Amino acid sequence: MHIYLDNAATTALDPEVIDVMVETMKTEFGNPSSIHAHGRQAKTIVEKARKTIAHLLHASPAEIFFTSGGTEADNMAIVRSIEAYGITHAITSPIEHHAVLHTLEELAKTVKIQLDLVRLDAKGNIDLTHLEELLAKNPRTLVSLMHANNEIGNLIDIKRVSEICQQYQAIFHSDTVQTMGHYPHDLSQLKIDFITCAGHKFHGPKGVGFLYINASNKIKPLIFGGAQERNMRGGTENVYGIVGLAKALEIAYRDMESHQAYIQDLKSYMIQELQKAIPTINFNGNIDPENSLYTVLNVSLPCTNMSDMLLFNLDIAGISASGGSACSSGSDIGSHVLRAIDADPERPSVRFSFSKNNTKEEIDIVVAKLKEICDHE
């Protein structure tokens, strides 16, 4: 039996998504940039997908730009907004995804922007007072803060952050890769400049995502080469991927309420069972439902001698999860997120991330295996 609990890394394709992609592959091979009938039909399919996504997000289709995924979308938003608006100051957090953190660090070295990291509390929550202090000193700043952390699951109050950024006339970009398809995003109400998406995080295909660019923003392409995406991204569109992405998001919104309840119940059940089986277990980040991504649970285990072998032992047992430690070990530099929240470097950590395909029976097996590992270190 194989148990997959690494859904924050990627998810299995939904059968409905597979069906629509296969059908598109069979019948629609035209290049959307071609003016003949095959090309026009492919173009129509891409634009229909764009409209579907825009409708779900309460945005304009003209604000949705397809990309290869979240990393490209993050890079495009950050690099080109700094260039377009002559920004010399940026604010992010030490627990951002590397698609954001490494991009801003590189820009700090090459473009010479000033980069500030907003303070965190012991649980990894953003200090909004410190954010305001940083903004007050540097108006017209780029703020890049992810909606939900991919390792520990902490959620930010994205509406409140957007209001603060608006107050100080800051450009606000949020990596919403982990929350897209899991929470509703009403962009008619949220004052935000850029958000990003990767289809494979909500049972869509890999290699496709999108960048939302608020209509008030004008930036240049990151990738040149053609007039695709209304002159904003060169390269032939990934028609099959775009169709799958739109279908996956449509399904996610259709079933969101029931899936949220089901997956949150799985997470709460695992927390409860882990606390009973391993009383000295620690949870990294928030675990309360109001402030935590319901698909992610990060734990630190007391079996300190098993740090290097924990994931290996889980894998041998047929359990797929992600992990890391807060310290360096040889060439393994560990998790920058766990280091930033001062997680115990002696304890091995595991990120379990859930989907609609998981069951409580699987949770029971995983908890029993973790207890066995800790009891026999």
**Which active-site residues does the annotation give?**
327
CA dist., res. 197 & res. 180, Å (int): 6
| 272: three-class secondary structure by DSSP | helix
What are the start-end ranges of the H helices in the chain?
A: 15-27, 37-57, 70-84, 98-110, 128-137, 158-167, 228-231, 239-277, 310-316, 336-340, 360-375
Burial annotation 176-197 (CB, 10 A radius, 16+ → b, else e): bbbbbbbbebebeebebbbbbb
State the burial class of residue 226 (Cβ atoms within 10 Å of its Cβ: 0-12, 13-18, 19+).
middle
CB 266 within 8 A of CB 358: yes
Q: Where are the alpha helices (DSSP H) in 157-202?
A: 158-167
C-alpha span between 342 and 121 (Å, rounded): 10
Burial class (CB in 10 A: 0-12, 13-18, 19+), 288: exposed
Strand order in the sheet with 296-300: 282-284, 296-300, 349-353, 322-324
- 323 Cβ neighbours under 8 A, 6+ residues apart: 310, 311, 348, 349, 350, 351
Q: Could you tell me whether strands 349-353 and 142-144 are parallel, antiparallel, or unpaired per DSSP bridges?
A: unpaired
As given in the structure block, the two tokens for residue 50 are 């764009």
Q: How many CB atoms lie within 10 A of CB 9?
A: 15
Rounded to whole angstroms, how far apart are CA atoms 196 and 173? 8
Give the Cα separation of 167 and 61 in Å (integer). Answer: 27
